[in-house]
Every structure is written in C-alpha cells, then in structure tokens.
C-alpha cells in the first residue's frame, strides 16, 4: 500500500501578498505566455461538510503522488506539490497554453476543528480526496478534585 505524506503542524509557509497574487492573475489573463513560466498555481478544490466530517476534493491531474505533500492542523490544511510538464516538440510554439505546471499550493482554513489523528487521504484519477473527522465537543469527562 502506498501512502501520501501528511505532516501535522501549525506553521504553514507564508503565502504571497494579495498584491503579488493580483498582478500574477492579471498577466495570466492577458496572454498564455505568462502562464508558461513555472510559477505557483492553484488547483481547483471542493470542500464538503457533513455533520461528523469534512471532505476536500482537489483536482490535480498529472501530478505524481510522490510530488504531493499535505500539512494538517486542527484549523487548516496545506496541500502543495509540483506538476512537471512535457516540453513542446522542437520548432513548435504554443497557440494555447492553459495547463499550468510547476509548484502549487493551497491553504484551506476549515469550518470546524478537526481531529488530526483521524485524517485519511487518497489519490485516484487525478483527484486527491482528504477526509477529516471533526473534533467532538459533546464528550463529558469527570475530573477528580484532589486535596491541596
């Protein structure tokens, strides 16, 4: 059985500023040439919430499972990795370049705290599915009071 690397922690890498992100998106919309550089990109994702769980589905076709890494804490999930691209044929030039290559990263802040001990992840047909069990707050625990 193969495993996806999952790291638990609170210190996610600093994200780019909103200004940097807006400039990147502006240039990408103007011409596909600007998307050819191997810069960070964001895979499309869905988050579903059920009473007991949160599910994340990431579309990352063409990414090798060994190039994926997840970082989890009770409040957020960081998904990052790299998609390498096949170089164009010799003497060919792009007429359309929509598929993004290079490193990617998404940090998703969760709608409820999760139990980091009960996280599962699978990768099939270009989709990464992460299942997160919500922390239970309805448990009651009796604490004995000791003499001081």
Q: Write the CATH number for 120.
A: 2.60.40.790
Share of the chain above pLDDT 70, in %: 72
> Which DSSP state fits 125?
T
User: Which residue's entry shows tokens 């495993």?
Assistant: 3
Total structural domains in the chain?
1
| Secondary structure E strands in the chain | 5-8, 44-49, 53-59, 68-72, 76-83, 102-109, 114-124, 127-134
The verdict on residue 34 lying in a domain is: yes
Which one, of 34, 148, 14, lies nearest residue 80 by Cα? 14
The verdict on residue 94 lying in a domain is: no
Which of 14-23, 46-55, 139-148 is modeled with the greatest confidence?
46-55
Q: What is the pLDDT of residue 141?
A: 75
The verdict on residue 92 lying in a domain is: no
Which of 15-19, 40-44, 104-108 is modeled with the greatest confidence?
104-108
13 pLDDT higher than 50: no
- Phi-psi region for residue 91, left (φ > 0), alpha (ψ -120 to 50) or beta? left
């Amino acid at each position: 059985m193969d495993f996806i690397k999952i790291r638990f922690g609170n210190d996610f890498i600093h994200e780019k500023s909103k200004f940097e992100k807006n400039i990147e998106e502006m240039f990408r919309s103007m011409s596909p040439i600007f998307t050819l550089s191997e810069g960070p990109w964001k895979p499309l994702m869905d988050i579903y919430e059920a009473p007991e769980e949160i599910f994340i589905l990431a579309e990352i076709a063409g990414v090798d499972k060994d190039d994926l890494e997840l970082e989890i804490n009770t409040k957020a999930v960081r998904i990052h990795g790299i998609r390498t691209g096949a170089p164009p044929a010799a003497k060919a030039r792009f007429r359309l370049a929509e598929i993004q290559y290079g490193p990617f990263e998404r940090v998703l802040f969760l709608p409820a705290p999760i139990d980091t001990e009960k996280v599962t992840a699978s990768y099939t047909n270009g989709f990464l599915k992460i299942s997160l069990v919500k922390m239970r707050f309805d448990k009651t625990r009796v604490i004995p009071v000791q003499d001081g």
